[in-house]
Structure 1
Amino acid sequence: MPTTAPTASSPPAKRVGGTPIADVTASNSTLRRFLHGLPGVDAVGLEARAASLGTRSIKTTAKAYAIDLAISMVDLTTLEGADTPGKVRALGAKAAHPDPTDRATPTTAAVCVYPDMVAVAKQAVAGSGVKVASVATAFPAGRVALDVKLADVREAVDAGADEIDMVIDRGAFLSGKYLKVYDEIVAVKEACGDARLKVIFETGELSTYDNIRRASWLGMLAGADFIKTSTGKVAVNATPANTLLMLEAVRDFRAQTGVQVGVKPAGGIRTSKDAIKFLVLVNETVGEDWLDNHWFRFGASSLLNDLLMQRQKLATGRYSGPDYVTVD
């Protein structure tokens, strides 16, 4: 498992395929022409490849490595109306020491909370290396004015957030108002300051794989540090197929611009078996450069519990009782 990660994201892209990004985004019509000029997605081929990679088996030593790597990639998340400071402090403690009986267990990548809980989370993970991520821009619907979205971001950043997870205006995107979505991402990116920006598409609401590919490129053109599948608040969240498509997008974007962008599948990933399937997708599609929590994350809550149970099983040959891990 990588022990160090880059300290900063790649610089913003200036050109794509030899064309200045300023020209691509000069108007809604130029941006539409670019996005609709991307190759169409072969849905059957995409799903078949995702399913095929999901059948790969790995040996015990590789499984132990994969479980530790997956733990280190978890954004341990609580995004409920009933969140309290006590719950957030407990989550932060778990992120910093996932298994208190085994201090060799990696920390998670981050804890993810609402903006009003950022200060509490920051205090809870102090000194651990765990980042604090905050959803913003009126998560999960994003249906408020831009100035309200930017105030949401600034509140989180001022409280100490290291990362911001924003939602795009899916209504604008599906209406073909691509420049509006682009401009909002650019504005949020500026409001983030030094915090890294994850752009959430809510792929379950985008209807088609072609739309997911277009949203991926739109987010990256606007300066996203990560592209993220879902809020976890709708029926269809991260799937192997939509994550594979987004991995292909970041691979192709780097080939054209030299800029590397991370990927975060979120929602519905609950077991170690699921997580390992996604790591196989990463390895086979974009390679080792993305096998690090600086470039790949899992948005999850219950996933960590299963990873810890499976880790303990590999170490001792048996499962612990139901009280081995905390129930989130």
Structure 2
Amino acid sequence: MLLAGCGGTAGGGTGSGGTGTASTPAGASARAAAAREQLERNTIVPLEGEAPTPGLPVTVDSSDGRKVTVEDASRILPLNGGVAEIVFTLGLGDRVVGRDITATFEEAKNLPLVTKAHDVSAESVLSLKPTVVLADTDTGPDEALDHIRDAGVPVVVLDPATELADVSTRTTRIAEALGVPGAGQALNERIDGELAAARANVPEGSRPKVAFLYLRGSAAVYLIGGEGSGADSLVEAAGAVDAGKASGLDQPFTPITSEALVKAQPDVILMMTKGLESVGGVDGLQEIPGIAQTPAGLDRRVVDLEDGVLLGYGPRTPLVIDILVDRIHAK
């Protein structure tokens, strides 16, 4: 995570769980330092205690309109990195037999990869003999999922997570599909507590405007987030205003123009790390027309977080809020 123009980042700490500190700069900084350390380790923190034992069979609603019966959760294959994080955090990581390209945390990185680019290979999936597959509505191609179903493997499809409220819904659905609803409730309680502790450190009277920019310089993709971008929910949870949304952008993403940036007038720019790197860092970002004319550009206030974590909306989302609360309110 990089913050340009507002001092360095602190180190140390052991994660963001537990009770929060009073709303003070020291409290926010301590939690942000611990969160940053946890994210740098890139590991999952499972629920405390013994791993849950699935109570199966269960029949659940799938987001593709089907009802799916899961009889065996001994070989789980999540086809989404955020879903995989939830499975591991529930304590079922030793049952996971493969991974999607977006599952980049340490516990999953040595598992067999079953995607080519972002497309699922049905042959790779079936070679791992999964007993249940967890997918998103945007997992594809459809033919691959049909092939997996035709082979007799239950496929539970979930709605994508695009806002903070989706974290608990997604956790509940995954836990139910795997026959561990109690673990899902415990995880939701843990996440709720961590989020509350993070948000308790929002300074009174501070409402900076934050613009989320999605950039891929090598592909000439330059977008500003608006309502429904996914980042707007995080920005608001951290006690700030989504600059794109506030300026009237009612689509998730809009091509960046000087006029749009000047109208948005962000105090802080939020980005994914690889996106910032793709334009040459903060110096390269300043070359994009309109950036240097915003308060964020003038002060070089840019916050970036690792791509798979920032919009992951899963068990590590409280760490994101801890960092945002500290960094976007910094003077």
Q: What TM-score comes out, normalization by structure 1 length?
A: 0.27
Q: What TM-score comes out, normalization by structure 2 length?
A: 0.27
Name which one, 1 or 2, has greater alpha-carbon Rg. Answer: 2
Structure with bigger helix share is: 1
